[in-house]
């Protein structure tokens, strides 16, 4: 399976590893990773296309729009665990993302 492991993708994988079996909302992932929606949602779509994530629409209360939820597939969890910490091993931590000064 080919998935570009950019520093941003690695942040998303790490965010999913926290309570890996739970469904997650894109908005919450954005807050945890610090990624803007224009970066985050294409990553989520690629991960879903490659069967690393399953997706589902949550029907909210009447008058509220449905929300898209994401969680690992078994293959996705295995892939994430195999690549956990890759950004640290490659030296592409928060400095590379501009989150802290180098």
Q: What pTM was computed for the model?
A: 0.79
Q: Which residues of the chain, if any, have pLDDT below 50?
A: 89, 92-96, 100-102
Q: What is the pLDDT of residue 73?
A: 96
Helix (H, G, I), strand (E, B) or coil at 14: helix
Q: What is the pLDDT of residue 102?
A: 43
Q: What is the pLDDT of residue 3?
A: 74
Q: What is the pLDDT of residue 1?
A: 61
For the domain covering 7-89, report its CATH number: 1.10.10.10
């Amino acid at each position: 399976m080919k998935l570009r492991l950019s520093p941003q993708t690695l942040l998303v994988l790490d965010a999913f590893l926290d309570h890996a079996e739970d469904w997650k909302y894109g908005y919450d992932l954005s807050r945890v990773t610090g990624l803007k929606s224009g970066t985050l949602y294409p990553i989520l779509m690629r991960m879903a296309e490659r069967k690393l994530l399953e997706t589902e629409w949550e029907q909210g209360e009447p008058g509220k729009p449905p929300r898209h939820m994401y969680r690992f597939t078994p293959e996705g969890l295995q892939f994430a665990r195999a690549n956990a910490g890759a950004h640290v091993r490659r030296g592409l931590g928060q400095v590379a993302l501009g989150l802290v000064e180098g």
